[in-house]
Amino acid sequence: MGKIRQRLYFIGVFILLSIISLVPRNQKMRIRDATTGTMKDTTVRRVPINLGLDLQGGIHLALEVDQSKGPVPDCADAIQRAERVVRTRIDEFGTTEPVVQIQGRCRLIVELAGEKDPARAKSVVQRTAFLEFRITDMKGLFKDALPQIDAALRRAGVKSRGAAAPSAVAQLFGGDTAKAERDSATDANTPGVLSSLLFQGQLPGEYLVPEEQSTLVDSLLNRPDVRAAMPRGIELRWGSQSESRGARRYRALYAVEARPIITGEELVKATARRDPVTNQSVVPFQLSHRGARKFSDETARHINDYMAIILDGRVQGQPPVIRSQIGANGQIELGAKPLQEASDLALVLRAGALPAPLTIIDEKTIGASLGADSIRDGVRAGVVGVLLVIVIMIGYYRMAGALAVASLTLYCLFTLAGLAAFGFTLTLPGLAGFVLSIGIAVDANVLIFERIREELVHGKSLRLAVDDGFLHAMNAIVDSNVSTVLTALILYAVGTGPVQGFAITLIIGIAASMISAIFVVKTLFLIWLYRRPDMVTLSI
Amino acid sequence: MIRLFANANYDFIKWRRWAFSLTGGIMLVGLVFLLTRGLNYSIEFTGGTLIQVEVHKKVETGVIRAALDNVGLNGAEIATFGSDTSYVIRARLAHSAGTTEETSSEAVAAAVGRALDQSVGPGQYTISRTEAVGPKVGRELQGKALMAILLSFVVTLIYLAFRFEWRFGLAAVVATAHDVVATVAFISVMHLEVSLIVVGAVLTVVGYSLNDTIIIFDRVRENLRKYRRQNLYEILNLSINETLPRSVLTHGTTIATTLSLLILAGEVIRPFAWVMSFGIFTGTFSSIYIAAPVLLWIEKRWPGEDARGARVFGSRAPATPSVPTPPATSPSQPRTPQPAR
């Protein structure tokens, strides 16, 4: 009896530990307050089992450093710095339990559970958010260099092909462009490939390009011979939006100084609000002391010049004129864009710029209702599967089968507790693995019961048959389970996300079944034999 | 007490040639399918965009397909997913696609949105799932999946060589390789989509089949020590018969759970459940008809030190690289062997 009591204590401790790890507990989450739009900590009470994105819905992104515009020498370092920035942004973003982690060397995984707006999430994560202020080309250096650029293009044999250079007048007045295009193909006297596409804007350094020509202009500007012909200290930046003048839409192209007077690094605060007068979304910002000093020095030197606010290489709005020295405070105007966009911009500006642009290489979005359906279906399949197993086991093994079924409930408890205790995530394949492992979990009991039957057939006493049955079945149980664990470990090592979830559930399930099917069932058998010492036949 | 197949005494091994022909035939069919139709890889492997849509009222697939063609997604596949108000649209990456992956997946998502607005009407559908995978990730996954299966073979071989003897390990691996090939043939014939989850299912089949083979081999190991007068043929038959009740019970409970997954657990898990259900059959089959005959053949080809070389498994540690017998299985009381035939 002492031995049984010891075993019971042991099982009791296990059950207690499992229950403790499954007790609903308070968890802190950062949630966006619906009324004020600010982030605040909220505590939620729930069972501490993490559900994978496929079960609760959400967004999974895999990002890498964008190497398409030239190689990045140390991508591991870039990703590590990007991880810190993205984490800061996501913490402000307002999802519960976000995952931001580096996978391998140069890959960043971002998982946002429950997030419903993938486009917004992507823009917050992916946006480089590199802010800079540059003075526009006040001296007209780019304009002076245009003939040279055109000459360079002509030398390279670039003709104004197709729609490239219809006469500017015809275009501006919305004339018969199709005819003009045909004419222009043979026109050798075009004023210049590039200059014919550019129209002087309202302020120094501003040029307008017809919307449909902007990709062509962009490709021309990226040519090495054009880059070489560019005046020193001047760069070109596109405007962020296109605007309509008359019947056509134009995109602004700005010639700006290559040296920024200040960058977003000096920014300490950014908020979003709607200007009550103009009804525009604006992002007021504040600079650090050092930044403010630099900014006021520079702006003092550039009174009456135009200053382009450039975010991720795009000029935001029309560059304002500097009327007087500017100190620590300024604002970015976003026009008619919604306030949400302004607050996201403020968020990424506060969190800082990414060290390098990131590109999304893998993206998954799962709707919350789909996840809920998956849980419902998975649980239903699990319940039916378990019921079938119970029917088979009790129908075949009677009392012994009932003991195995009793231990099966402990098996479920242990597995769930294992998932909670080690902080593993339950995914949909994991749920399937769990259901499957219930079928496999009884294998140990089947092996033991068959052995006991064999020992009984060989005429052993009940007690000896039970002991030998457990003992002799051990070898097969250990060998078969170890080989299963080995394949599961390989799955875990090689797989990603959902497959890892499956492997984890399988491994925890096997460990749990070792305890429940062997130790618990043996204890139940010992109690059974102890209470019925006069029993001659075993209900097995 | 109910006893299924108690004291069963079937000559399983006798039918091995029939079994080989049967499985060879099945594999030939699978091979034909594999060569003519290939495997239906999911976008996780090929790269591309998948969009699952729930429409609020039923729409003909043809209507959506026409709309997809209309917006320029000629290569996109559309299929109902579970119910007839749920669709999955797949646009795989063309191999020669020159565009960068990001723009193309964005473009596909936008184009699908336009096609749905045309065919179903704006607001009449919800997009419940999107996946966009770049070609790089897909290539990586293909390599990883193949490596996982090969790695599991190597690890198993080493473990079985360590726990039993290399002959057993080899026979078990041959049986398991048979299961992988048979399962791939099944996947091809059923035209199941090969996703990561399905690769996981194949690996689970590997584990399950090994498990089953090991249970029988464990009994063979034990019986070889117990009955020194019988040859390996008889021992194999005896062991399979002795473990038959266990096989029936365990496979019964596992089939019960996989069938409930297959029928009830929803569309995402269904390919997994198909592969598992088939894997249980092939795993059971191969443990009896591939692993055991192959062990017999290996024993003939590379016999142990004497004519009854199989006998030395476990009992003569220095002669073979096997592991000393665990004391638990050493029979303490010699009994008369049961007739094996």
Q: Where are the domains of chain B?
A: 13-38+139-329, 48-133
Q: Which CATH number is associated with domain A2-23+367-531?
A: 1.20.1640.10
At A301 the three-state DSSP class reads helix
DSSP A344-411: HHHHHHHH---SS-EEEEEEEEE-HHHHHHHHHHHHHHHHHHHHHHHHHHHHHHHHHHHHHHHHHHHH
| Mean pLDDT of the residues in chain A | 82
Q: Is the pLDDT of residue A323 over 80?
A: no
Q: Do B249 and A539 touch (CB under 8 A)?
A: no
Residue B208 touches partner A, C-beta closer than 8 Å: yes
Closest CA to A59 of A107, A134, A18, A113: A113
Q: Is A136 in contact with A308 (CB distance < 8 Å)?
A: yes
CA A136 to each of CA A66, A287, A292, A293: distance values in angstroms, whole numbers, following the listed order: 28, 21, 20, 21
Q: Do B204 and A433 touch (CB under 8 A)?
A: yes
Residue B216: CB partners within 8 Å, gap ≥ 6? B239, B240, B243, B287, B288, B291, B292
Residue with the bigger pLDDT between B238 and B157: it is: B238
Residue B158 touches partner A, C-beta closer than 8 Å: no
Q: What is the pLDDT of residue A13?
A: 93
Residues of chain A with Cβ-Cβ distance to B163 below 8 Å are 479
| Distance from C-alpha of B202 to C-alpha of A495, rounded to nearest angstrom | 13
Q: What is the pLDDT of residue A188?
A: 45
| Distance from C-alpha of B24 to C-alpha of B218, rounded to nearest angstrom | 27
Handedness of CA A448, A449, A450, A451 (dihedral sign): positive
Percent of chain A with pLDDT over 70: 89
The one-character DSSP state at A135 is E
Q: What is the pLDDT of residue B331?
A: 42
Q: What is the pLDDT of residue A242?
A: 78
Q: What is the pLDDT of residue B236?
A: 92
Percent of chain B with pLDDT over 90: 25
The one-character DSSP state at B312 is G
Residue type, B295: L
Q: What is the pLDDT of residue A389?
A: 92
Say what the pTM is.
Answer: 0.75
A269-307 confidence digits (pLDDT tens): 888 888 888 888 888 888 888 888 888 888 888 888 888
Residue B18: CB partners within 8 Å, gap ≥ 6? none
B3 to chain A: closest CA residue: A396
pLDDT band of residue A190 (cuts 50, 70, 90) is low
Instruction: Compute the average pLDDT of residues A309-316.
Output: 85
| Distance from C-alpha of B11 to C-alpha of B237, rounded to nearest angstrom | 6
Buried-exposed string B119-145: b where 16+ CB fall within 10 A, e elsewhere: bbeeeebebbbbbbbbbebbebbbebb
Q: Do B145 and A373 touch (CB under 8 A)?
A: no
Instruction: Compute the average pLDDT of residues A25-54.
Output: 69
- Is it true that domain B48-133 has CATH number 1.10.150.120? no
Structure tokens at A133: 């202020």
Interior CA angle at A99 toward A98 and A100, to 5°? 120
Q: What is the pLDDT of residue A362?
A: 85
* Protein fold of A129-158+193-339: Gyrase A; domain 2 (3.30.1360)
Q: Which CATH class is domain A58-128+359-366?
A: alpha beta
Percent of chain A with pLDDT over 90: 14
At A24 the three-state DSSP class reads coil
| Distance from C-alpha of A106 to C-alpha of A104, rounded to nearest angstrom | 6
- Is it true that domain B13-38+139-329 has CATH number 1.10.3720.10? no
Q: What residues does each domain of chain A span?
A: 2-23+367-531, 58-128+359-366, 129-158+193-339
Residues of chain A with Cβ-Cβ distance to B335 below 8 Å are 458
Residue with tokens 């990414």, as numbered in its chain: A354
CA B305 to each of CA B308, B309, B313: distance values in angstroms, whole numbers, following the listed order: 8, 5, 11
Question: Residues B197, B199, B203, B204: what is their CA dihedral angle, to the nearest 10 degrees?
Answer: 30
Q: Do domains B13-38+139-329 and B48-133 have the same CATH topology?
A: no
| Mean pLDDT of the residues in chain B | 80
| Distance from C-alpha of A509 to C-alpha of A485, rounded to nearest angstrom | 10
Q: Is A49 in contact with A416 (CB distance < 8 Å)?
A: yes
Q: Do B156 and A487 touch (CB under 8 A)?
A: yes
| Distance from C-alpha of B209 to C-alpha of B211, rounded to nearest angstrom | 5
At B118 the three-state DSSP class reads helix
Identify from A75, A123, A443 which residue to disrupt to test chain B contact, counting B C-beta atoms within 10 A and taking the largest count.
Answer: A443
Residues of chain A with Cβ-Cβ distance to B101 below 8 Å are 359, 361
A237-252 confidence digits (pLDDT tens): 988 877 777 778 888 8
Residue with tokens 């998502």, as numbered in its chain: B109
A135-189 confidence digits (pLDDT tens): 998 888 888 888 888 888 888 877 665 444 444 444 444 444 444 444 444 444 5
**Inter-chain contacts counted by CB atoms under 8 A, chains A and B:** 232
Instruction: Compute the average pLDDT of residues A106-130.
Output: 82
Closest CA to B73 of B34, B108, B32, B122: B108
